[in-house]
Amino acid sequence: MNNLQIALFFLIGIVSSILFHISVASVVSTGNFNKDFYVLWSPTHVNTSADGHTRTLKLDQQSGAGFASNQMFLFGQIDMQIKLVPGDSAGTVLAYYMASDQPNRDEIDFEFLGNMSEQPYILQTNIYADGFGNREERIYLWFDPTKDFHTYSVLWNLHQIVFMVDSIPIRVYRNHGDKGVPFPRRQPMSLEATLWNGDSWATRGGQDKIDWTKGPFIASFRNYNIDACVWKGNPRFCRVASHVNWWNLNNFSTLTSPQRRWFKWVRKYHMIYDYCQDNERFQNNLPQEWSLPKY
């Protein structure tokens, strides 16, 4: 074998190795809760169908419950169909979120705040970056989320984080790291869901407590999809743009025109709180991102 053949053989090996790592970087979930998730606490309050395709969490006076993904991810898109706690759910909190395991944690949160019967459900979103949160936004959902399943999604890439409800973008958090705004981009995160007692704050600032006679409180999950970069210890493979890591492609670096129209509709007709407009809370020193573009 001459020097040219050796060099060519060596180059093919390097390319094959890179392609292999890229190909295993993304996972499409199995759809089986028993295979993709483990129970965080209170297994007696977690019920999974025989085929593993549906799961419920229960909250009563003894305990809440939760589950988390076996894998951790750095960028991608997650989708979960959820049916929220029906009836008088005041004081309950269903959290569906991504979270890192570091002290200066990153988080991408959906929090569904329980309500009195016949009142609209509040969806709160929040983002932690480098251990700091305080980035809450709240909307009223434009449908009854207890009657049927709806899809709640997060698209997370190097450019933006997009929260979606039934594919409608309700919040965008753009990467303005070049301007000093923290953005989750280094820490891998797991996908978690928990149901717990938050009646010290969740409903009307803690005025409405949980009525345990209305329990147990049940939230249901199904048809999840995790299409994300599985953390293998090297962020390089998660940051590459490819047909596998499709979320990093330029097409997903900002909202499309139709998405922008839906986003404006949500914020005009359904938003009830935006931390970037809370001068009293921040004593007229709003976070830097309030003045920066969202797309």
234 vs 223: CA distance, rounded Å: 29
- 192 a catalytic residue: no
Question: Which candidate, 80, 99, 104, 65, places its Cα nearest to that of 217?
Answer: 65
Q: Exactly one of 107, 137, 192, 289 is catalytic; name it.
A: 107
- Identify each DSSP E strand in the chain by its residue range: 26-28, 37-41, 46-48, 54-59, 65-69, 73-83, 92-99, 107-113, 122-128, 137-140, 150-156, 160-165, 168-174, 190-197, 217-230, 271-274
Q: Please state the φ and ψ torsions of residue 169, each to the nearest 5 degrees.
A: -70, 125
- 111 a catalytic residue: yes
CB 223 within 8 A of CB 81: yes
Find out whether the peptide bond into 216 is cis, omega within 30 degrees of 0.
Answer: yes
3-state secondary structure of 247: helix
Q: Which residues are tagged catalytic?
A: 107, 111
